[in-house]
Chains A and B, each alone.
Chain A
Amino acid sequence: MELTERILKADRRALARAISLVENDGEQAQKLLQEVYPHAGQAHIIGITGPPGSGKSTLVSQIARQYRQQGRTVGIVAVDPSSPFTGGALLGDRVRMRDLAGDRGVFVRSMASRGSMGGLARATGDAVTLLDAAGFDLVLIETVGAGQVEVDIAREAHTTLVVEVPGLGDEVQAIKAGLMEIADVFVVNKADHAGVDQTVRALTIMLDMNSAACSWTPPVIKTIALHGEGVADLIEAVDDHWAYLVRENALQDQQRIHAQNRLTRVMRRRLFDELLAKIGPERFEETVMQVATHKIDPYSAAARLMNSKTQGS
Chain B
Amino acid sequence: MSARKVRILIAKPGLDGHDRGAKVVARALRDAGYEVIYTGLRQTPEMIVEAALQEDVDAIGLSLLSGAHLTIFPRVAALMKEQGLDDVMLFGGGIIPEDDAPALKQAGVANVFGPGTSTQDIITFVEQEMARRK
Contact = CB atoms under 8 A, between A and B. Distances in A.
B37 A94 contact: yes
B4 interface: yes
Contacts of B34: 88
A17 B56 contact: yes
**Interface of chain A: mostly helix, strand, loop or mixed:** mixed
Contact of A92 (B29, B38, B47, B51): B38
**Interface of chain B: mostly helix, strand, loop or mixed:** mixed
Contact of A16 (B5, B31, B39, B53): B53
Contacts of A294: none
Contacts of A112: 5, 35
A91 B47 contact: no
A102 B49 CA distance: 10
Nearest to B40: A95
A23 B84 CA distance: 22
Q: Which of A87, A90, A92, A108 has the most CB of B within 10 A?
A: A90
Nearest to B10: A90
18 contacts: A12-B53, A17-B56, A23-B5, A24-B1, A86-B31, A88-B32, A88-B34, A89-B30, A91-B38, A94-B39, A94-B40, A95-B38, A98-B39, A98-B43, A108-B54, A110-B37, A110-B55, A114-B5
Given A86-B30, A87-B33, A94-B51, 5 more contacts: A12-B54, A26-B1, A91-B35, A94-B40, A95-B40
Q: Which 10 A-B pairs have the closest CB atoms?
A: A95-B40, A16-B56, A88-B30, A101-B47, A90-B30, A88-B33, A86-B33, A20-B56, A25-B1, A92-B38
Interface of A: 12-13, 16-17, 19-20, 23-26, 82-83, 86-92, 94-95, 98, 101-102, 107-110, 112, 114
Interface of B: 1-5, 7, 26-27, 29-40, 42-44, 46-47, 50-51, 53-56, 83-84
